[in-house]
Amino acid sequence: MKQPVASEYDSSKLSYKNIIDGNMNPWVMRFIKDVGKGINDFDMIRDKENILIAVSGGKDSLALALALSLRRRWLPITYSLHAVMINWIEHPIEESYRPRLEKYFRDLEIDFRIIDEPQFPTTIPENYNCYICARNRRRILFEIANREGYRQIAMGHHLDDLVETTMMNLFFRGDFATMNPVQEFFDGDLYVIRPMIEIHESTLIRLAQTYDLPVIKPVCPYDQTNIRSQIKPILKEICHMDRFAREHVMNAHKLDCRIRRD
């Protein structure tokens, strides 16, 4: 392995360019291959397809972009990647992060843009919450995909997200349901794919702690008080009793590994 290059932003971290140049730790290589396994298990990406990556600026979406970009080098097929970040006007990212994000995606050879949009609907309901916010973001992404001809939107959800969603649906809605690795919309005109659905969040945390990914601090006022944030420590305690608890929940859903798309 070549001598690792230090980060130009944080002296305590390595530059993500080490990974791009192929000078990566074995666990990073494992992460990228595991993302590829999830893609293959659920038939997410095929030859010559155009993928729109939904970028939040957090560790998950940045790690997803990294894995999808590097994976292209090792495959006999090719696919194009485009990334878009919805920046809420009411809670915008710091201006200093814009050039860092643009440079990151440029280094990954991914077309990237930031779109400034209003966070709240025309009429704000009294019980405005994370679910409504997420739906508004998804609506904008769907409009972009429809207008520009994308059939797949890749999102950075991981295994912990799947389990947390299961717990929230079960405990608060009485429904044993979760997010799917491949989710169809509009009779197959659009698919949401989740290539990191088999990846533990701890791997993504380690990636962001080791390398200088331009991770943006959450600007959501509900980030530490929503239900998902309160579920996380409960899940962590359960996994102390059985480290495969997440996998058990995923297997209980009997997700179809033979999903076929037109």
Tell me: the pLDDT tens digits for 14-30?
999 999 999 999 999 99
Position 129 pLDDT exceeds 90: no
Mean pLDDT across the stretch 92-114? Answer: 96
Q: Which residues share a beta bridge with 228?
A: none
Predicted TM-score (pTM) of the model is 0.92
Confidence of residue 125 (pLDDT cuts 50, 70, 90): low
**Mean pLDDT of the region 3-15:** 86
**In a domain? residue 260:** no
pLDDT on residue 208: 97
* CATH number of 246's domain: 3.40.50.620
User: How many whole angstroms separate alpha carbon 208 and alpha carbon 202?
Assistant: 10
As for how many domains the chain has, the answer is: 1
Residue 79 CB partners (closer than 8 Å, separation 6+): 45, 46, 47, 48, 49, 50, 51, 72
Give a yes or no: residue 258 inside a domain: no
Residue 41 reports pLDDT greater than 80: yes
In a domain, residue 65? The reply is yes
In this prediction, residues 170-190 reach a mean pLDDT of 93
Q: Is 22 domain-assigned?
A: yes
Q: 111 pairs with which residues across the strands?
A: 82
Does 110 fall in a domain? yes
User: Are residues 198 and 37 in contact, defined by beta-carbon separation less than 8 angstroms?
Assistant: yes
Domain residue limits at 165: 17-252
Q: Is the separation of the CB atoms in 137 and 56 below 8 Å?
A: no
Cα distances (Å, whole numbers) of residue 167 to 99, 180, 232, 235, 255: 38, 15, 10, 9, 16
Indicate whether 232 pLDDT > 90. Answer: yes
Q: What is the pLDDT of residue 126?
A: 63
Domain assignment present for residue 213? The answer is yes
At residue 225 the predicted structure's pLDDT band, cuts being 50, 70 and 90, is: low
Tell whether 48 is covered by a domain: yes
Domain presence at residue 125: yes
* Per-residue pLDDT at 259 exceeds 60: no
Give the strand pairing for 80-88 and 182-185: unpaired
Considering only CA atoms, give the Rg of the chain: 18
Q: Which residue in 23, 230, 92 sits closest to 14, CA to CA?
A: 23
